[in-house]
Homo-oligomer: A and B are copies of this chain.
Amino acid sequence: MDTHDLLTIGEVVDRSGFPHSALRYYEREGLVTATRTSGGQRRYERGVLRKLAFIRAARAIGIGLDEVREALDRLPAGRTPTKSDWTRLSRSWRGRLDEQIEALVALRDGLDSCIGCGCLSLARCRLWNPDDRIGAQGDGARLLPPALRRPPVG
């Protein structure tokens, strides 16, 4: 871990695939850290690459940066995270993934039955009107499983 091992932002850009602007943004937001040279330029430890990979995967399944930060904050402060530290984090979003897959599959199945049965009547089709009681509930999407109520972000 001598100075030799530190990465410039350009190297991190090349090796992580994130643009400069995103790396600086993530630093401002407290997701990653960097030391500085005497001249003020960033120098990253190698470990940042694993963090960035984690961030990318988390983002890909729709987890917001706030939550990603919380997850990363749960990594041990003093020492380099071990395998089991990362495993614990990863396992936590494995559940999310399962939920999302399940939800998409449910949507697909509903769609299949729609296409197959030709029932496209609002009154009968499970997809268009899942249980004849649409509109009786609270805010947000009504015909989708919970895990799919997030994607339309706004």
Residues of A within 8 A of B (CB): 14-17, 19, 46, 49-50, 53, 56-57, 59-62, 83, 86-87, 90-91, 94, 97-98, 100-101, 104-105, 107-108, 111-112, 114-115, 118, 120, 122, 127-129, 134-135, 137, 139-144, 148-149, 151-153
Distance A34 CA – B46 CA, assembled complex (angstroms): 58
Q: A140 and B17 in contact (CB under 8 A), knowing A83-B120, A108-B94?
A: yes
> B151 and A60: CB pair below 8 A?
yes
Say whether B108 contacts A143, CB under 8 Å.
no
Q: Which of A16, A104, A144 has the most CB of B within 10 A?
A: A104
Partner of A98, one of B94, B108, B143, B148: B108
Asked if A134 and B15 make an inter-chain contact with CB atoms under 8 angstroms apart, the answer reads: yes
> Contact at A61–B104, with CB atoms within 8 Å?
yes
Task: Check A86–B120 contact: CB distance below 8 A.
Answer: yes
Please, how many angstroms separate the alpha-carbon atoms of A108 and B56 in the complex? 14
CB distance from A123 to the nearest CB of B (A): 10
Shortest beta-carbon contacts, A-B, top 4? A59-B152, A17-B142, A53-B128, A60-B148
Closest to A25 in B: B154
